[in-house]
Structure 1
Amino acid sequence: MGILQAVAFTAAESEAEDSGIGPGLYGLLVLIFLIVALFLLYRSLRRQIRKVDFDPEGVDDAERMRGHREPPER
């Protein structure tokens, strides 16, 4: 890109900023879509986390990976 093209691009960019054109309806719709998608992902994540099997005995990860479990004390 030449120097003259860069200057022309910068000038055109500053004119577009002064035109008063904003995001409008499409920007609002995109924002609403993103909020709904985020809410649905949050609900899905909560549902998946509830399915995690929590071990109350406190077996650590190393023992779980070996498949070793000490027998319960009587």
Structure 2
Amino acid sequence: MDVVAAVGMFRDGRDDGGLSISAGSVGFWIVVALILVLVVLYRSMRKQIRRIDFDEDATTDQERMGRAKRNTEGG
């Protein structure tokens, strides 16, 4: 019952009881921070994907993997 009472304290501000909670500037800055993190992750992912080297002329997956394996072995 304590949990129900605690959740009941957080109201939308239209009532006299409880705390008034709104997204406000804190919510805005959290969203901005999340967007910045996503942009950084996206750019990093693009950079890593560009480094992948595979044989476009190969007809099977085995041939493509063979070239990638030779490149990582130093040959």
Task: Give the 3 Å change call, closer, same or farther, for CA 22–61 of structure 1 in structure 2.
Answer: farther
Unaligned stretches of 5+ in structure 2?
14-19, 71-75
**Aligned partner of 2:9: which letter?**
E
Unaligned stretches of 5+ in structure 1?
1-6, 69-74
TM-score computed with the length of structure 1 as normaliser? 0.61
Select the structure of larger CA radius of gyration.
1
* Relative contact order, higher structure (CA 8 A, sep 6+): 2
Residues 23-59 of structure 1: per-residue CA shift (max 9 Å, x gap): 3222211110110110111011111111111202215
TM-score computed with the length of structure 2 as normaliser? 0.61
* RMSD after superposition: 2.6
Question: Which residue of structure 1 aligns with residue 16 of structure 2?
Answer: none
**For the residues of structure 2 that align with 1:33 and 1:61, how far apart are their CA atoms?**
43
**For the residues of structure 2 that align with 1:11 and 1:17, how far apart are their CA atoms?**
11
Question: Which residue of structure 2 aligns with residue 64 of structure 1?
Answer: 66
Fraction of identical pairs, as percent: 34
**Aligned partner of 1:61: which letter?**
Q
Greater share of strand residues, 1 or 2?
Answer: 2
**Aligned partner of 1:39: which letter?**
V
